[in-house]
Amino acid sequence: MQRLMNKFKNRMRAMTEILEGPTAIATGVDRLTNGQLVAFPTETVYGLGADALDGHAVAKVFALKGRPATNPLIVHVSGIQMAKTVVAQWTQEAELIAKAYWPGPVTLVLTKADCVPGIVCANGDTVAVRCPAHPCALALIEAFGKPIVGPSANPSGRISPTTPEHVADGFGDVDLIVIDGGHCRAGIESTVVDLAGDISKVLRPGIVGAHAIGETLGKSVECVTQQAEDSVARSPGVVGAHYQPRTPTKLASTGLLASASESVVLLAWSTDVHPSGGTLISMPQDLGQYASMLYRALHQGDKASQDSIWIEEPAIGSTAQDQAIRAAIIERLDRAAHG
């Protein structure tokens, strides 16, 4: 009898379920329609989806993530046509960038349309919008027929998820489905470009750099993440602690790695690193591949339950593209480091 009761209780316990294929999309649409959450893959990281036009559903995203209400969400769309429904004005600059990079890892900040609930935009007058380059994300949005919010599907401040298992591990036993789209190719979050102010600027670096955005717009575009005051005002998500493993983590120069003890996890790309102790996780020298693997390596390092994680500073790139990716990686690593 007791065993039967336990079996029943286990069945009743909420759990995160990983689903694949057309059934996953259909179940996802059902859940979104009922105001529930659905974790879905994008080319950057896994997102925690909800109907972007339903304030109650969006509130569940903030609650599950433990995300401060002051940090606005990105609205995911299936293309330019849907993007136009959530902004007050689709500008010529938006058209140029969307045509050049969508579907892809570039988010545009524009003046919001009235239909977007205030909670999505932290009660500001702008909305961030992006069309993700992942077949599952596009299939989900198209089948749902409406935009969905999609912050990273992890507890606020922690390492972003790039596999369905990361999502399930992060939230534990909650009633959530994760659409399995494999490992995220780009591996770090989108470039956020602010087109709402007088001067266009990059608020968060990503795989697509400010230089490339500038070339698309035919003018110079700055990345302003270092200007703390402006960042607080325009993009609250790019300040403070973020991307953090539970294990104390530091950025280390190549020379320092040899002094690692048994209880250190090392993320290193140099092939000539021979630490006397510790657990080595080999990182790629190629910066695109490094970005793709970074969060997976941090999750793996955290799971090793050692005293600390040391990350070798990534290789210096030679091309403008490499330099952009490196800057985006460094922005994450600087904020992953703590303790």
Nearer to Mg ion, 152 or 247 (CB): 152
- The CB-of-160 to Mg ion minimum distance in angstroms stands at 5
Residue nearest ligand AMP, Cβ-based: 237
Kindly state whether residue 234 participates in binding ligand AMP, applying the rule CB under 6 A: yes
43 binds ligand AMP (CB under 6 A): no
Q: Choose between 126 and 152: whose C-beta lies nearer to Mg ion.
A: 152
Of residues 32 and 109, the one with the C-beta less far from ligand AMP: 109
Contact (CB, 8 A) for 134 and 42: yes
Verify binding: residue 129, ligand AMP, rule CB under 6 A.
no
Report the side by side order of strands in the sheet with 74-76. Answer: 16-19, 176-179, 38-40, 47-51, 148-149, 74-76, 126-130, 106-111, 191-194, 201-204, 222-223
Cα separation, 338 vs 246, in Å, equals 9
Beta strand 126-130 with 308-312: parallel, antiparallel or unpaired? unpaired
**Pattern 165-194, ligand AMP, x by CB under 6 A:** ------------------------x--x--
**Spatial CB neighbours of 49, under 8 Å, sequence gap ≥ 6:** 28, 32, 37, 38, 39, 40, 76, 140, 148, 149, 150
Instruction: Return the bridge partners of 152, or none.
Output: 47
CA 20 to chain centre: 21
Closest CA to 116 of 159, 161, 148, 140: 148
Residue 6: its H or E element: helix 2-12
Copy the structure tokens of residue 12. 């009743």
Q: Which does residue 312 bind out of ligand AMP, Mg ion, none, counting CB within 5 to 8 angstroms by kind?
A: none
Output the smallest distance, CB 212 to Mg ion, in A.
23
- Smallest gap from Cβ 181 to ligand AMP, in A, equals 17
In angstroms and rounded to an integer, the radius of gyration of the C-alpha atoms of the chain is 20
Binding mask 255-294 for ligand AMP (x = CB under 6 A): ----------------------------------------
44 binds Mg ion (CB under 5 A): no
DSSP assignment of 177-232 equals EEE---S-SS-SPPEEEE-SSSS-EEEE--SS-HHHHHHHHTS--EE-TT-HHHHH
Q: Which is nearer to Mg ion, 152 or 308 (CB)?
A: 152
**Interface with Mg ion, residue 152, by CB under 5 A:** yes
Q: Kindly tell me which residue out of 61, 64, 203, 264 binds ligand AMP, with binding defined by CB under 6 A.
A: 203
If binding is defined by CB under 6 A, does position 71 make contact with ligand AMP?
A: yes
Contact between 200 and ligand AMP per CB under 6 A: no
Task: Please say which residue, 150 or 278, places its beta carbon nearer to ligand AMP.
Answer: 150
Instruction: Give the whole-angstrom CA distance, residue 159 versus residue 246.
Output: 9
What does the DSSP assignment read for 318-336? SSHHHHHHHHHHHHHHHHH
Q: Judged by CB under 5 A, does residue 190 bind Mg ion? A: no
Please identify, using beta-carbon distances, which residue of 93 and 189 lies nearer to ligand AMP: 189
Residues of the shown chain interacting with ligand AMP in the complex, contacts defined by CB under 6 A: 71-74, 109, 121, 124, 126-128, 151-152, 189, 192, 203-204, 234-238
Residues of the shown chain interacting with Mg ion in the complex, contacts defined by CB under 5 A: 152
